[in-house]
Amino acid sequence: MKLWDKGFSTDEKIDHFTVGNDRELDLILAKYDVMASKAHAKMLGKVGLITMEEANALVSELEAIAVAIANGAFTIEANFEDMHSKIEFLLTEKLGDTGKKIHTARSRNDQVLVAMQLYLKAELTEIKTQTKQLFELLIALAEQHQDVLLPGYTHMQIAMPSSFGLWFSAYAESLIDDLYFLEAAYKIADQNPLGSAAGYGSSFPIDRSYTTKELGFKTLKYNVVAAQMGRGKVEKATAVGIASIAATLSKLAMDITLFMSQNFDFISFPNELTTGSSIMPHKKNPDVFELIRAKCNKIQAVPQQLTLVINNLTSGYHRDFQLVKEILLPALQDIKACLEIIIFSLKQVQVNTSILDDPKYDYLFSVDTLNELVKNGMPFREAYKQMGQAIESGNFTPKKDIGHTHEGSLGNLCLEEIRKKLG
């Protein structure tokens, strides 16, 4: 069944190519298409395009379909093009001509738009919740280990003293920036496109404000052409948001992988969180974090993939838009899986509390030792030269009783202030 069926068939090869994996992806979106159809049916009854009895019958059957979807009993067989055609078929099968009236004053274009935006709102809400959970875990770890010193690096060379408090809370505060991107994506998705039809509105006297309120959108996308132009754009905004989180998680996963190696030995995890080697019995591999790194690097390419699909298209609908689903939907599942597993794993992190006992880290304190000379009246450039000569000659004696007090330093993490930024 096709919503555009005019009584003649399309070649099977054309069907296969144009439908692609839409049926599989639509199983994820079907719940939201039903939600939008319920609101649309109620609106049709309200404005008198169908009777209230017909509207109530449609809503009742749509609720039954929603239950089937929730129970995993909803399928989209090969003779259906997508979720829209299957849902309309089920309504017609149960209600006859009343079922056929559900498509009055809408197009498959605005059906796709509204279902996708409802879905993205739900996904973004879940991702924001997970991100905040990771934030709270990182802040808790920063509090717990704030006094444990850790080498800081620049150019992968030993640089200055850091701490686990500084390291954990750095990633926590970075997540706040990522949440700003997610909030922007949510705001773009939170505009009702239903009623834009094929992108040029409808001659039926529909009530778009009603469906906006019924579906829980903050506002509607007023201009019907702008609503259609939002297709691909809202997906890209979402992709930018999750790519920002992915960048943070990828960097964190890289740090963890490095810090777990025997050459560093800064942190460890219980055996059950690591994997082994088929021939080397001593190995405890950080496979989980390597996969987080790889998955998150893939996610960071999603905005560019979407750009290449939707770029340079004129206003109005193009079939190119169909491909955005197969790019974005798997990426959303991947970012949620990465957030879930990194939260699960970090709860069990084990911190080495005596890292800086190794004399190779004495040079971490060169800047703080130099600063003491400056505090005692020596010009900075002279103190720098004197310290460099002492290091070169092997006469450097580090001052390890450091005192960093300014906001955001290892002695003043400002964790409460960071928490307040999250809101």
pLDDT band at 26 (very low <50, low <70, confident <90, very high): very high
Question: Do 232 and 136 fall within a single domain?
Answer: yes
- CATH, residue 313: 1.20.200.10
Determine, yes or no, domain membership for 414.
yes
Domain endpoint, select from 323, 339, 356:
356
Please give the angle made by the CA atoms of 13, 26 and 209, to the nearest 5 degrees. 125
- Judged against a pLDDT cut of 70, whether residue 5 lies above it is answered with no
Residues with Cβ < 8 Å from 69, sequence gap 6 or more? 30, 31, 34
Determine, yes or no, domain membership for 6.
no
Tell me the helix, strand and coil percentages in the chain, rounded to 5.
65, 5, 30
Question: Do 129 and 275 fall within a single domain?
Answer: yes
State pTM to two decimals: 0.91
Question: Do 147 and 40 fall within a single domain?
Answer: no
Burial label for 206, CB within 10 Å (0-12, 13-18, 19+), is buried
Question: Do 53 and 193 fall within a single domain?
Answer: no
CA-closest candidate to residue 124, choices 283, 287, 311, 335: 335
**CA–CA separation, 85 and 172 (whole Å):** 45
Q: How many domains, in total, are found in the chain?
A: 3
**CA–CA separation, 273 and 285 (whole Å):** 9
Determine, yes or no, domain membership for 1.
no
* Helix ranges, 164-301 (H): 164-189, 208-214, 224-229, 233-260, 287-299
Q: Are 345 and 273 in contact (CB under 8 A)?
A: yes
- Judged against a pLDDT cut of 50, whether residue 17 lies above it is answered with no
**CA–CA separation, 88 and 108 (whole Å):** 11
> In whole angstroms, what separates CA 208 from the centre of its chain?
30
> In whole angstroms, what separates CA 338 from the centre of its chain?
10
Residue 420 three-state SS: helix
269-302 b/e with 16+ CB inside 10 Å = b? beeebbeeeeeeeeebebebbeebbebbbbbbeb
Taking all residues of the chain, what is their mean pLDDT, rounded to a whole number?
A: 92
Question: Do 199 and 335 fall within a single domain?
Answer: yes
Determine, yes or no, domain membership for 335.
yes
Domain endpoint, select from 341, 356, 371:
356
Q: What is the pLDDT of residues 203-250, one digit of tens each?
A: 999 999 999 999 999 999 999 999 999 999 999 999 999 999 999 999
- Judged against a pLDDT cut of 60, whether residue 281 lies above it is answered with no
**CA–CA separation, 224 and 202 (whole Å):** 9
Question: Do 217 and 311 fall within a single domain?
Answer: yes
* pLDDT of res. 357: 92
CA-closest candidate to residue 302, choices 244, 351, 228, 231: 244
Determine, yes or no, domain membership for 145.
yes
Question: Do 94 and 214 fall within a single domain?
Answer: no
Question: Do 301 and 412 fall within a single domain?
Answer: no
Q: Are 114 and 39 in contact (CB under 8 A)?
A: no
Domain endpoint, select from 57, 88, 104:
104
Question: Do 289 and 345 fall within a single domain?
Answer: yes
Q: What is the pLDDT of residues 104-151, one digit of tens each?
A: 999 999 999 999 999 999 999 999 999 999 999 999 999 999 999 999
Question: Do 316 and 229 fall within a single domain?
Answer: yes
Determine, yes or no, domain membership for 7.
no
Q: What is the pLDDT of residues 47-104, one digit of tens each?
A: 999 999 999 999 999 999 999 999 999 999 988 989 999 999 999 999 999 999 999 9
* pLDDT of res. 9: 52
Determine, yes or no, domain membership for 314.
yes
Domain that holds residue 73: 12-104
Question: Do 196 and 252 fall within a single domain?
Answer: yes
- CATH, residue 93: 1.10.275.10
| CB neighbourhood size of 114 (10 A) | 28
**CA–CA separation, 17 and 39 (whole Å):** 32
- Judged against a pLDDT cut of 50, whether residue 8 lies above it is answered with no
Question: Do 188 and 336 fall within a single domain?
Answer: yes
**CA–CA separation, 44 and 356 (whole Å):** 71
Determine, yes or no, domain membership for 5.
no
